[in-house]
Amino acid sequence: MPDEFTVRVAVIDDHDIIHDGIRGWCALSDPPVQLVSAYTSPDEFLAATAEDTIDAVVLDLQFPDRVVDLRALTDVCERGFRVVVYSHYTDTHLVLECLDRGAVTYLSKTEGRQHLLPALRAAAAELPYLTPTMAKAMTADQADTRPHLSNREREILINWFQTESKTLVAKSLYISVKTIDTHLDRIRTKYAAVGRPAKTKAALVVRAIQDGIVSTDDL
């Protein structure tokens, strides 16, 4: 971030009213959140924006040429941007799919300013932020308190348990350290959502053993 206070944000949405609304919320934010740029398509954003100029991205999922554009979400996340999905869709499977693809937070547009600004600050600080939409999706259709972890999340978790260095994990999996942090933040958020917080690496090891993700022989 340019200083210890200001969060730099880009918005990708094809509706001017969303741009104007978020710009107004940012102008009133304390601590400051600055809307640096606004785009009407993910391709436009990716062609014009460098990762080090933006701390968090607000991304819609629906654009004129597609109903739900998960490809765009994947592309933006893989470029290293921390993405807050901001959509009117709240389907459980879609929310979980977006989180699995790399979004750091998922908000319904009905959640608005109350959750969007804190979510952007958390994204910029590389911290998890649990919205009501995420909490509902993470706990839906679960008979016990085991959170749903994607195969990629499990792979990163096990590799991280087996080494002290995220850099080594990143090299072995051909991804960035920032991507690893995003996955670990999301894993912690999922555990918190089911009432089993795991704020430290040691706590995550315990949870993973309890849930059969790893055994003591794996460590």
Q: Where do the structural domains in the chain lie, given as residue ranges? A: 7-139, 151-218
- Fold classification of 151-218 is Arc Repressor Mutant, subunit A (1.10.10)
Report helix, strand or coil for 7. strand
pLDDT of residue 1: 43
Sheet holding 83-87: strands in order across? 33-39, 7-12, 56-59, 83-87, 105-108
What is the model's pLDDT at position 135? Answer: 78
| pLDDT at residue 2 is higher than 50 | no
Q: C-alpha angle with apex 150: 54 to 41, nearest 5 degrees?
A: 35
Q: How far apart are CA 173 and CA 167, in angstroms?
A: 10
The CATH class that applies to domain 7-139 reads alpha beta
Q: Which ranges of 5-90 does DSSP label H, i.e. alpha helix?
A: 16-27, 42-48, 70-78
The Cα 62–Cα 49 span in angstroms is 20
Locate 23 and state its tokens. Answer: 């710009």
pLDDT for the residue 121: 92
Whether the per-residue pLDDT at 104 is higher than 70: the answer is yes
Average pLDDT over residues 29-40: 91
